[in-house]
Every structure is written in C-alpha cells, then in structure tokens.
Amino acid sequence: MASALRTVMTVSIGAAAALGASASAANATPAVSLAPVQVEPALAAAVPAAVGPVMTASLNPLAGTGFNPIDNAVGTQIGDLPVSTSMITGQIADGTNLQELLGR
C-alpha cells in the first residue's frame, strides 16, 4: 500500500511540475530593461568603511604582553656593520597596524 501511494504521489508531482512549466511559459511577460545602476558612488563609500578596521587593527595582538613570540631578535656584526632581524620584525613586534606599516 505504501509503495502504491509513493508511486501516485510521484506521478502527480511530476504532472503538476510539467503543467506548471507549460503554463508559466505561455504566460511569460517580456523582459523589462532596467536603467543602469550607478554602483561606483556606493562602492566608493563602502570600501573605505569596510577596509578601515582592517587597516587600523593591530597586526600583532600579543604586542605589549608578556608572551610575544615575534618580539625576539637575532643580531651579529659583520666587520663594522651590525646586522639584526629587529629591523624587519621590530615594527610588527611593537604592535603596529597596516596603515602605519604602509605609511598612509
């Protein structure tokens, strides 16, 4: 009995879908052309608002804490020239943000 009910339901759903597709094709309205939308002003206002928090967020959230894995430097001296990794990792280890790092 359950399989017969499933068969009837499947056939009736398929028939309804076929009739609905042919009816909607017959009553289809012609496509409406829309005026072009100016996205540029909205985008110009939205991008700085979305990117602003990213630019001002700290690149190293552990800066200034007791546990800062980036706050380490290795240095040596080659002849009279001191060489250190703090020149590269110093600003990030101190907690700078992307805006300061890019100089904006």
pLDDT in tens, the chain (104 residues): 455 445 444 545 555 555 555 555 555 666 666 666 677 777 888 888 888 888 888 888 888 888 888 888 889 999 999 999 888 888 888 888 888 888 87
Question: What are the extents of the domains in the chain?
Answer: 38-104
pLDDT of residue 46: 86
pLDDT of residue 59: 85
CA distance 4 to 7: 5
pLDDT of residue 7: 47
Distances (CA, A) of 1 to 5, 8, 88: 6, 11, 77
Burial class (CB in 10 A: 0-12, 13-18, 19+), 28: exposed
pLDDT of residue 94: 86
For 31, the token pair is 């496509």
**Whether the predicted model's global pTM rises above the 0.85 cut:** no
CA distance 76 to 85: 9
Query: The dihedral of CA 32, 26, 19, 16: what is its sign?
Result: positive
pLDDT of residue 29: 65
